[in-house]
Chain A
Amino acid sequence: MAEEVKMFGFWASPFSYRVELALNLKGIRYEFIEENLQNKSRSFLNYNPITKKIPVIVHNEKSIVESLVILEYIDETWKDIPLLPQDPHKRALARFWANFIDDKIMKSAHRIATSSGKEREDAIEENVENLKLLEKELAGKDFFGGNSIGYIDIAASVIAIWFEVGQEVSGIHWFTQDEHPTLWKWKTKFEQDEVVKQCCPPKYKLVEFRKMLTASGSAPK
């Protein structure tokens, strides 16, 4: 019986990208359904009535929501090319850093984009420090996952791709080669990966989209 995997996503969403990247790294075939975030489809809302957010994957008619939860589900269901380490302590660290990226790094980046004055300055300072903390976890490896892309790398894809977009549009540069040389090196290597490039939307389109959101006064996700 062929497994049916559907994915509801949005081309410009870093959370959606995480899931696509994971599916592609594992070589899993799936149907991608682009959701109009201003006008969500009934079938999408049926699959995720609780948070009503993308990404959602549907596997054999069962839905899974929340990008990091989806990543773990994918890793447990398709065991080739593991994304999470086997060792329990390393797994715990992977979960810890992925949560840190979401709870701290993404939130302060969002504040940089949506605030001004002192609040923005504080958010920039916080984000610079948070990126330095994350950077230490690389500890001389090519990727957080070692020689290949793993769970933390996928979670951190927002930093590699979307931060540059945000910096270009806002003119504020907080993630730089000077401040974060190790993380910058990781970003460069990450972006050159064939699978990463394959499912990544073109940067110019992301920039255009962010400019449009900024102009319309909508806060970027």
Chain B
Amino acid sequence: MADEVKLYSLSGSPFVCRAKIALNIKGIEYENMEETFGNFSADLLKYNPVYKKVPVLVHNGKAICESLVIVEYIDDVWKAVPLLPQDPHEKAIARFCAKFIDDKFIPTAFKVFGSHGDEQVIAEACEQLQLIENELKNKGTKFFGGDNINLVDLSADFIAYWLGIIEEATDIKFFTKEKFPKLTEWAYNFVECEFVKGVLPPRAPLVEFFKKRFGN
């Protein structure tokens, strides 16, 4: 029986892109169900009544919500090209890093832009980004996953692409090559990766979107 895989998405979302990249890495064919921001379909609301958000993966009629949960689901079902280390301790570190980026860094980054560059918030964001930089430095590899992208790289897609875009839109910059050389190099490799390139939304409309959002 052929698998039916649908992904409810918004092309501009870093959370959606995590799922798309994971599906690409695994070579899974799926139907992209593009939603409209501010006017979600009845289907999406049916599949994600709790958060009413994208991404939602629907696999043979069963819905999975929340991007990191979706990535782990994809990894559980399609075992080729693992997105997590095999060793339980390494896996735990990867899960922790992915959560840290999601639960701590991304909200802090949004606070930076929402506060129009408050010094204290920028300091907090830099501190958090430094931890992520150190993790990559300690690994000494191209990606957090080694030679290949893993869950942490996916979680960090916001850093690789969206962060620079919002910095441009707001003219507030803290993710610099001087302070974060490893992450800067990683970001370049990430966006150039074959599984990522085709999935990233165009830059210019995103810059405009964030200019409006942060009132610049």
Contacts and interface: CB of A to CB of B under 8 A. Distances in A.
Given A88-B76, A91-B73, A96 B92 contact: no
A62 B73 contact: no
Interface string A9-20: 000000000000
Interface string B42-80: 000000001000000001001011100110110011000
Given A91-B76, A96-B65, A99-B66, A50 B131 contact: yes
A91 B5 CA distance: 18
A103 B50 CA distance: 12
Contacts, number: 57
Given A50-B131, A69-B95, A64 B65 contact: no
B37 interface: no
A73 interface: yes
Given A77-B88, A88-B73, A89-B59, A133 B50 contact: yes
B99 interface: yes
B99 A66 contact: yes
B197 to A, nearest CB: 28
Interface string B190-216: 000000000000000000000000000
Interface size bracket, B side: 20 to 34
A65 interface: yes
A217 B109 CA distance: 29
B91 interface: yes
Contacts of B177: none
B96 interface: yes
Contacts of A59: 89
A89 B96 contact: no
A213 B29 CA distance: 54
A76 B88 contact: yes
B96 A88 contact: no
Among B50, B66, B100, find the residue whose CB has the most chain A CB atoms closer than 10 A: B50
What DSSP secondary structure best describes chain B's contact surface? helix
A89 B64 contact: yes
Contacts of A66: 95-96, 99
A76 B96 CA distance: 15
Given A91-B76, A92-B72, A65 B96 contact: yes
Interface in A39-78: 50, 59, 62, 64-66, 68-70, 72-73, 76-77
Interface in A127-147: 133
B69 A95 contact: yes
Nearest to A94: B69
Among B64, B69, B70, B92, find the residue whose CB has the most chain A CB atoms closer than 10 A: B92
A77 B33 CA distance: 38
Contact of A62 (B66, B89, B95, B131): B89
A96 B63 CA distance: 11
Contact of B89 (A73, A91, A92): A73
Contact of A95 (B59, B72, B92): B72
Contact of B73 (A72, A77, A89): A89
B102 to A, nearest CB: 10
B54 to A, nearest CB: 15
B92 A92 contact: no
Interface of B: 50, 59, 62, 64-66, 69-70, 72-73, 76-77, 88-89, 91-93, 95-96, 99-100, 103, 131
3 closest residue pairs by CB, A with B: A88-B76, A92-B73, A73-B92
Given A77-B88, A89-B59, A95-B72, 8 more contacts: A50-B131, A59-B89, A68-B99, A92-B64, A92-B70, A99-B66, A99-B69, A103-B103
25 contacts: A50-B131, A62-B89, A64-B89, A66-B95, A66-B96, A66-B99, A69-B95, A70-B92, A73-B88, A73-B91, A73-B92, A88-B76, A89-B73, A91-B76, A92-B64, A92-B69, A92-B72, A92-B73, A92-B76, A93-B64, A95-B69, A96-B66, A99-B69, A100-B50, A133-B50
